[in-house]
Amino acid sequence: MVRIQVKHGDREFLYECQNTCQIDEIAPELIQISNLQYKIDHLLLRLEPLLSPFLKNPKVIPLIRALSEAQSYASKDQVLYNKAISFYVMRDYVQAIERQVMQNYQLLGFEDANQVQQLLADVEVLQAQSTELHWAGKELVRDKRLCDYIGMNEKTKFVLRLQPHNPNPA
């Protein structure tokens, strides 16, 4: 397994894959994980002030727990603990938060489900088609395999940067 430390802005996470994977197979998953990290941060930012008066309310405790678990899983501290992140696990955490918000939206002060849907709308900071993957100062071409860049060693570890496409390089 190749271990990739993915960075975008101040966020980072570890990702594992085979070195024979196509770049265009792993790129969408890396972008989705990064967007889910942003979504979890967005939900925390919006929901924590609403939850503060209800910390002792047993109806809200599952939502607080779901937010806490998602925050710790999406944290860049996982890199320090050498834990790789899975898109599917991250998606499950986000769905658990969404379920709990839908169950408690009236208690949180939302008047109708439309307000909740706006809160829960996907946060896409990176677009799959317009995001570039960079390693060692070079863009990874999507129709190549990972081993074309890093070689055939299965125990390789490297840092990859996600960057929005810049049509006018400086």
pLDDT exceeds cutoff 70 at 97: yes
pLDDT at 124: 79
What's phi and psi for 140, nearest 5 deg? -85, 120
Mean pLDDT over 77-100 rounds to 95
Tell whether 157 is covered by a domain: yes
Q: Is 107 domain-assigned? A: yes
Give the mean pLDDT of 29-52. 93
Q: pLDDT value at position 167?
A: 66
Residue 30 belongs to some domain of the structure: yes
CB count within 10 Å of CB 130 equals 12
Looking at residue 123, what is its pLDDT? 77
122: in domain: yes
Quick check: 122 pLDDT over 80? no
pLDDT of residue 63: 94
Task: Read off the pLDDT band of 120 (50, 70, 90).
Answer: confident
Q: What is the tally of structural domains in the chain? A: 1
Strand extents, DSSP E, 53-139: 131-135, 138-139
Residue 169 has pLDDT above 60, yes or no: no
C-alpha to C-alpha distance for 160 and 139, rounded to whole angstroms = 10
pLDDT score, position 121: 83
pLDDT at 101 over 80: yes
Strands of the sheet containing 131-135, edge to edge, are 11-17, 2-8, 157-164, 131-135, 138-139
Question: pTM of the entire structure?
Answer: 0.90
For the chain, give the mean pLDDT: 90
In a domain, 169, yes or no: no
In a domain, 170, yes or no: no
Closest C-alpha to 63, from 37, 39, 89, 95: 95
pLDDT at 168: 59
What is the extent of the structural domain holding 127? Answer: 2-164
